[in-house]
Amino acid sequence: MNKTIKFYGIIFLAVLGLLAFFELGKKEITDWRKNFDIAEKTPFGLYIFNQEIDKLLGEKVERINNSPYEFYNKNPKLPPHTILLIQKEIDGESWNKILSELHKGSDAIILSTFCNKKIKDSLGFSLSPSLYDEQSVYELTDKKLKNAKLQMDKFPGIQAISYIDKKNDILGKMKIDSAQWKANFIKVKIGNGNLYFHSDPTIVTNYYLLQPNSNTYIEGVFSYLKNQKTIWFLDTNATERSSSPLSFILNNPPLKYAWWLLLGSLLVFVIFGVKRKQRVVPIIEPLKNKSVEFVQSIGNLYLQEGDFHDMMSKKAHYFLFRIKSELLIDYQKLDDNFAMKIHQKTGKDLKKISKAVLLLNKAMDSYAQVTKEDFLEMNFLLDEIYPPSRI
């Protein structure tokens, strides 16, 4: 078997082993967030309620994802019906549409821990936070429903209804202990219809619907509704979140682990595949600077020829060119005036400059006899007076 295949196989098995190890040692974490999502099976989702509401209300429930304002604009002439809202924010325009339907004879039931000021003012009550302990119980005030009770033991939406208008009927209460209770379920007469408001929507979540005898309390709350069509305005954002394919995968543990395993395998394949198939990058040697070698070669050539006059002449021309272009000194006459100008510009010793000028004249004279010592002396003096720049 190919060594590469063996290597990949070992890595793949190691990844599987790690995933199995973490899975066996993992503790299931319960999501206690209050999402009120009809697709969520978490404790405070509405999955069970969504499955059972048709039986509870006589299979006359229509689920709507639009706002009440949009829905009633499209359907302005509906017969009397029941409006259901669970922990849904209601804007002012939508509330006006609901009030209009209530005046026509429709009923509404709202289960929410909040409502905006406009709604509270129009209904004649307000909400206030309330404490609870493990003995807190929700009860209904109707004597016929005295056995309809619900024990609240997990993060209820503790909001009591206060400042209740005398015209409003108290249908349910939150019993804190034998001596204390507060209203949490009321009835408000609006035009030809009724509005029922319960301050704790958690009563219809998965957790409480699975509690013993919870069905009697829920049935008691909804028993006040008429036998007519119900329009349930859903939380649109929650519905859209739950419809995501990736959300469905991540909410199912087997699919979630298969998804992460697939991503991990693809990552390993890409990493080793790229490393294996990458082209060899050739090593390109940088270009070497041959300038010094070139100069040495030219110098050796001149030394071998022994033509010191030619070398002295070239050195002189190069020096004079630099003097003219850089110091702006004319070199038509190489005399004492020329030497003084160089002295003024460079600040070097005038005697050395004068001696260098004599050697420059000798170098420029094609008939002059030049020795090696003349060349070396002039070269030394010129480099000392005005050394060549080093870049």
Whichever domain contains 92, its CATH number is 3.40.50
Alpha-carbon span 305 to 282, nearest angstrom:
44
Decide if 182 contacts 176 (C-beta within 8 A): yes
On the question of pLDDT at 244 being above 60, the answer is: no
- Domain shared by 139 and 54, yes or no: yes
Residue that is written with structure tokens 């002059």 in the block:
368
Q: What does the pLDDT read at residue 391?
A: 46
Q: Is residue 36 included in any domain, yes or no?
A: no
Sort residue 213 into left (φ over 0), alpha (ψ -120 to 50) or beta: left
Q: What does the pLDDT read at residue 242?
A: 47
What pTM did the predictor assign? Answer: 0.57
On the question of pLDDT at 85 being above 50, the answer is: yes
Backbone angles phi, psi at 50, to 5 degrees: -65, -30
Q: Where are the beta strands (DSSP E) in 31-180?
A: 61-64, 82-86, 107-111, 126-129, 137-140, 149-151, 159-162, 169-175
- Domain shared by 85 and 139, yes or no: yes
On the question of pLDDT at 356 being above 50, the answer is: yes
- Domain shared by 375 and 269, yes or no: no
On the question of pLDDT at 5 being above 70, the answer is: no
On the question of pLDDT at 109 being above 90, the answer is: yes
Q: Is residue 282 included in any domain, yes or no?
A: no
| 28, two tokens | 């299931």
Residue that is written with structure tokens 């958690």 in the block:
202
Q: Is 133 exposed, middle or buried (0-12, 13-18, 19+ CB in 10 A)?
A: exposed
Report, as an integer, the average pLDDT of 17-21.
Answer: 68
Range of the domain at 127: 47-243
pLDDT band for 335, please (50, 70, 90 cuts): confident
- Domain shared by 262 and 309, yes or no: no
Count structural domains, the chain. 3
pLDDT band for 318, please (50, 70, 90 cuts): confident
pLDDT digits (tens, 9 = 90+) for 161-187: 876 777 788 899 888 766 778 888 999
Alpha-carbon span 203 to 49, nearest angstrom:
10
- Domain shared by 269 and 185, yes or no: no
- Domain shared by 22 and 58, yes or no: no
- Domain shared by 264 and 316, yes or no: no
- Domain shared by 24 and 96, yes or no: no
Q: What does the pLDDT read at residue 28?
A: 65
In sequence order, what are the residues at sequence separation of 6 or more whose Cβ sits closer than 8 angstroms to the Cβ of residue 97? 68, 69, 71, 72, 73
Decide if 90 contacts 233 (C-beta within 8 A): no
Helix axes 253-277, 3-24, angle to 10 degrees: 150
Q: What does the pLDDT read at residue 276?
A: 58
Q: Is residue 8 included in any domain, yes or no?
A: yes
Helix (DSSP H) and strand (DSSP E) numbers for the chain: 15, 11
Q: Is residue 9 included in any domain, yes or no?
A: yes
Alpha-carbon span 82 to 228, nearest angstrom:
7
Report, as an integer, the average pLDDT of 35-51.
Answer: 89
DSSP letter assigned to residue 27: P
Decide if 147 contacts 135 (C-beta within 8 A): no
pLDDT band for 98, please (50, 70, 90 cuts): very high
Decide if 326 contacts 315 (C-beta within 8 A): no
- Output the CA–CA distances (angstroms, integers) from residue 292 to 177, 180, 295, in the order listed: 102, 103, 5
**What are the CB-based long-range contacts (under 8 Å, 24+) for 321-329?**
322/386, 322/388, 323/386, 327/386
Report, as an integer, the average pLDDT of 314-338.
Answer: 86
Q: What does the pLDDT read at residue 239?
A: 46
In sequence order, what are the residues at sequence separation of 6 or more whose Cβ sits closer than 8 angstroms to the Cβ of residue 308? 370, 371, 372, 374, 375
- Domain shared by 20 and 141, yes or no: no
Q: Is residue 35 included in any domain, yes or no?
A: no
- Domain shared by 182 and 68, yes or no: yes
Q: Is residue 225 included in any domain, yes or no?
A: yes
pLDDT band for 296, please (50, 70, 90 cuts): low
Q: Is residue 207 included in any domain, yes or no?
A: yes
DSSP secondary structure string, 292-351? Answer: HHHHHHHHHHHHHHT-HHHHHHHHHHHHHHHHHHHH----SS-SHHHHHHHHHHH---HH
- Domain shared by 63 and 9, yes or no: no
Q: Is residue 78 included in any domain, yes or no?
A: yes
- Domain shared by 132 and 223, yes or no: yes
- Output the CA–CA distances (angstroms, integers) from residue 251 to 210, 235, 255, in the order listed: 21, 19, 8
